[in-house]
Amino acid sequence: SRIEQSLIGLLASYDVQAVAKPDAPGVYVDGAKIASLGLRIRNGCSFHGLALNLDMDLRPFQRINPCGYAGMPMTQLRDLVGPVDFAEVCTRLRAELVSRLGYAEQKTLTGGIEL
C-alpha cells in the first residue's frame, strides 16, 4: 500500500532497509515488525492509521500475538539507528505520505502534540 511504502521510504531515509509482506500487513526489518497498519471501510467511511515503533518498551508485545501472529518479533527505530527525534521522524513521514498519496498541500493535526 502507499502507506506501507511511505513507512519504507521513511525508514530508508535513516538507512534502514524495510519491506512490506503481502501476507502480513505492516512493515518489517529483518523479519521483525516495526510498523503496523489499520485500514477499514465501514458504512462508506474509511478509517486508517499506523503505528511506528520508535523508542519504547517492546516487552508487552511478548504477551500478545501481534496482528494475530504468535511469536512475531518486534523492533524499533532506536534499536536500529540509536536515539531518534520524534519531531524529525514526523516531518520525514509527513513528507513521504504527502508525496506518495499525491497531495499538493499538507496540514498537520497533532492532537495537541507540539511538532
CATH number for the domain that contains residue 68:
3.30.930.10
- Catalytic hit among 51, 67, 113, 115: 67
Cell of 22: 503481502
Q: Is residue 49 part of a domain?
A: yes
Residue 112 domain flag: no
**What's the pLDDT tens digit per position in 31-89?**
999 999 887 888 988 877 899 999 998 888 777 777 777 778 899 999 999 999 999 99
- Edge-to-edge, what's the strand order for the sheet holding 24-29? 19-21, 24-29, 32-42, 45-52
Rounded CA gap, 95 and 115, in Å? 14
* Residue span of the structural domain in which 39 resides: 2-100
Residue 16 is assigned to a structural domain of this protein: yes
Beta bridge pairs of residue 74: 33
Does residue 110 belong to any structural domain of this protein?
no
Confidence of residue 111 (pLDDT cuts 50, 70, 90): low
Q: Is residue 105 part of a domain?
A: no
90 is catalytic: no
Structural domain count, the chain: 1
Domain assignment present for residue 114? The answer is no
In a domain, 65, yes or no: yes
Q: Which three cell numbers stand for residue 61?
A: 508485545
Q: Where are the alpha helices (DSSP H) in the chain?
A: 2-12, 77-81, 86-100
Please name the residue that has the C-alpha cell 534499536.
79
